[in-house]
């Protein structure tokens, strides 16, 4: 009869193979995190705004492509230059079921030092698109192009009222201030008026209460096509396509300045590598879809994808440039570096 020791020795290779297979499977299993309950995407703007539209389309594509099988909810929490939305993430550290839209304006808010809660320490996930800032005047304005605007403001920086949404020093403000600075205007003396939304600033422009408006592209197309306003410059390196293809860049008009803001997604502090990987892969599939490409093109935005690591580098580099511009605008209220 075979001894028990011999039998155990004969079973040893099979046992070792089983253990090896289990060890090999462990990393793969660890990478399979996915949402197990409702996912909430916090938007730092009101319903119907451009940020809100982009957020809802992101979740629509995630749901349509079954990239997330749990319920997806978009909640609007505007205020504090994005700080209110970020405070929500702050309350859910390590919970990848909570996400927030990221905007370049959050860099500006941190640079100004006007908010207590910033994106620092949050988890960068993805950048999804780049948006352009355009400058518009009424159709009957004597300001017909960028050269006219620069000439008027170089002579007297306070001569014209400039509307922006939604805060002094944000990315919309920066989108007109940077080209004007390159053009030789004393941007610290500009007469800039903040509005709660670009819809409100456009109404003020049409009503004769403003001379100039800086805004993102979705907010000017209808009024331009109706002949009520003239869009005189765009801060991108190349002309936009579609409805705004006739609008010259600042560079084309002798002011070599380029500025663009981005929209993306942040997670709370303390997310695991597997959670980050899940959202990176899910949103990458969204941006590669034809529906997302068509949606972005319709808004005159540009699809741009950055994963977590690349987004973190972008935020660091762009913050340094933003800090410099905010200082030159004399808006810095903190000693933050």
pLDDT in tens, the chain (337 residues): 455 544 554 565 555 555 455 444 444 444 589 999 999 999 988 787 778 889 999 999 999 999 999 999 999 888 777 888 999 999 999 999 999 999 998 998 899 887 889 999 999 999 999 999 999 999 999 999 999 999 999 999 999 999 998 778 888 999 999 999 999 999 999 999 988 778 889 999 999 999 999 998 888 999 999 999 999 999 998 999 889 999 999 999 999 999 988 999 999 999 999 999 999 999 999 999 999 999 999 888 989 999 999 999 999 999 998 998 888 888 865 544 4
Task: Give the range of the structural domain holding residue 307, as residue numbers without chain letter.
Answer: 39-130+261-328
Q: Among 245, 260, 275, identify where a domain stops.
A: 260
Same domain, 223 and 289: no
Same domain, 169 and 198: yes
CATH assignment at residue 61? 3.40.190.150
CATH assignment at residue 221? 3.40.190.10
229 part of a folded domain: yes
pTM of the shown model: 0.78
> What pLDDT is attached to residue 83?
87
Same domain, 124 and 74: yes
196 part of a folded domain: yes
173 part of a folded domain: yes
> What pLDDT is attached to residue 3?
54
Contact 188, 147 (CB under 8 A): no
Same domain, 84 and 166: no
DSSP structure class, residue 248? P
Q: Among 239, 260, 281, identify where a domain stops.
A: 260
Same domain, 252 and 280: no
Same domain, 111 and 164: no
Q: Among 234, 260, 286, identify where a domain stops.
A: 260
Tell me the residue ranges of DSSP E strands in the chain.
39-43, 72-76, 98-103, 123-138, 161-165, 191-195, 212-216, 229-234, 260-267, 302-306
> What pLDDT is attached to residue 7?
54
Same domain, 144 and 200: yes
Same domain, 236 and 287: no
Same domain, 246 and 266: no
Q: Which of 215, 262, 268, 235 is nearest to 100 (CA)?
A: 268
Question: What separation in angstroms does the CA of 96 have from each of 27, 39, 151, 307?
Answer: 19, 8, 50, 16
Structure tokens at 75: 């909640």
Q: Which residues pair with 230 in a beta bridge?
A: 137
Domain count, the chain: 2
> What pLDDT is attached to residue 23?
45
Residue 316's SS3 state is helix
Same domain, 244 and 157: yes
189 part of a folded domain: yes
């Amino acid at each position: 009869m075979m001894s028990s020791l011999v039998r155990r020795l004969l079973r040893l290779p099979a046992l070792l193979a089983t253990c090896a297979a289990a060890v090999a499977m462990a990393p793969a299993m660890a990478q399979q995190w996915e949402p197990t309950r409702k996912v909430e995407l916090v938007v730092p703007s009101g319903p119907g705004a451009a940020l809100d539209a982009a957020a809802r389309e992101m979740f629509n594509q995630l749901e349509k492509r079954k990239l997330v099988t749990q319920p997806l909810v978009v909640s609007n929490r505007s205020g504090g230059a994005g700080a209110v939305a970020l405070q929500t993430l702050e309350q859910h550290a390590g919970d990848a079921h909570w996400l927030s839209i990221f905007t370049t304006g959050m860099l500006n808010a941190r640079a100004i030092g006007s908010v207590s809660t910033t994106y620092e320490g949050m988890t960068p996930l993805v950048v999804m698109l780049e948006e352009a800032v355009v400058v518009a005047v009424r159709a009957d304005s004597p300001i017909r192009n960028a050269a006219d605007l620069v000439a008027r403001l170089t002579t007297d920086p306070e001569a014209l009222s400039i509307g922006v949404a939604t805060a002094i020093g944000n990315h919309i403000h920066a989108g007109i201030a940077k080209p004007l600075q390159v053009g030789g205007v004393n941007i610290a003396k500009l007469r800039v008026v903040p509005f709660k939304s670009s819809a409100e600033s456009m109404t003020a422009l049409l009503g004769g209460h403003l001379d100039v408006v800086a805004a993102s592209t979705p907010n000017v197309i209808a009024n331009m096509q109706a002949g009520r306003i003239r869009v005189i410059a765009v801060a991108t390196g190349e002309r936009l396509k579609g409805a705004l293809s006739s609008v010259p860049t600042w560079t084309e008009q002798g002011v070599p300045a380029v500025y663009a803001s981005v929209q993306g997604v942040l997670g709370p502090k303390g997310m695991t590598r597997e959670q980050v990987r899940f959202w990176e892969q899910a949103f990458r599939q969204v941006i590669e879809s034809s529906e997302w490409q068509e949606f972005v093109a319709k808004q005159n935005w540009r699809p741009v994808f950055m994963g977590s690591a690349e987004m973190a580098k972008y935020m660091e580099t762009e913050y340094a440039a933003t800090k410099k511009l905010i200082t030159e605008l004399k808006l810095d209220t903190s000693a933050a570096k």
